């Protein structure tokens, strides 16, 4: 499922806490994003039409909850990035970040630990 960057910001609010009414999403995003209420409601409707969220009636309002799980979205986005930019391979991605000084010592230590876990079969 393809969701835009703006839609992913709305999804992030719903992934953190749900169900939420539209006014709760507006309150969570309005100031930080400088978006109008109508913009946020439009994004909610787009997500609803895509099947990324559901809406259940609660009196005179609707409560929105995610259908699309964050882990599934992250997996799809990361796979797409790897395919488009690095031929589906992780090593060139890591090399790219290394060559552009984007890996901190903490990142390198975490990668070493991950590789050790993979080698040990504990992952």
pLDDT in tens, the chain (123 residues): 899 999 999 999 999 999 999 999 999 997 788 899 999 999 999 999 999 999 999 999 999 999 999 999 999 999 999 999 999 999 999 899 889 888 899 999 999 999 999 988 765
H or E segment to which residue 65 belongs = strand 61-66
Which residues have a Cβ under 8 Å from the Cβ of 14 and sit 6 or more positions away? 20, 25, 53, 64, 65, 66
What architecture is domain 5-66?
Answer: Orthogonal Bundle (1.10)
Query: What predicted TM-score, i.e. pTM, was given to this entire model?
Result: 0.80
What is the DSSP-derived secondary structure letter of residue 53? Answer: E
Task: Give me the phi and psi of 85, to 5 degrees please.
Answer: -105, -25
């Amino acid at each position: 499922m393809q969701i835009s960057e703006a839609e992913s910001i709305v999804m992030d609010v719903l992934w953190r806490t749900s169900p939420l009414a539209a006014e709760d999403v507006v309150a969570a995003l309005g100031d930080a994003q400088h978006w109008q209420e109508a913009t946020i409601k439009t994004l909610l409707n787009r997500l609803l039409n895509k099947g990324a969220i559901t809406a259940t009636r609660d009196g005179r309002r609707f409560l929105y909850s995610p259908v699309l799980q964050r882990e599934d979205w992250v997996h799809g986005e990361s796979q797409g990035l790897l395919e488009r930019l690095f031929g589906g391979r992780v090593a060139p991605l890591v090399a790219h970040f290394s060559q552009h000084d984007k890996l901190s010592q903490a990142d390198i230590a975490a990668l070493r630990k991950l590789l050790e876990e993979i080698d040990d079969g504990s992952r």
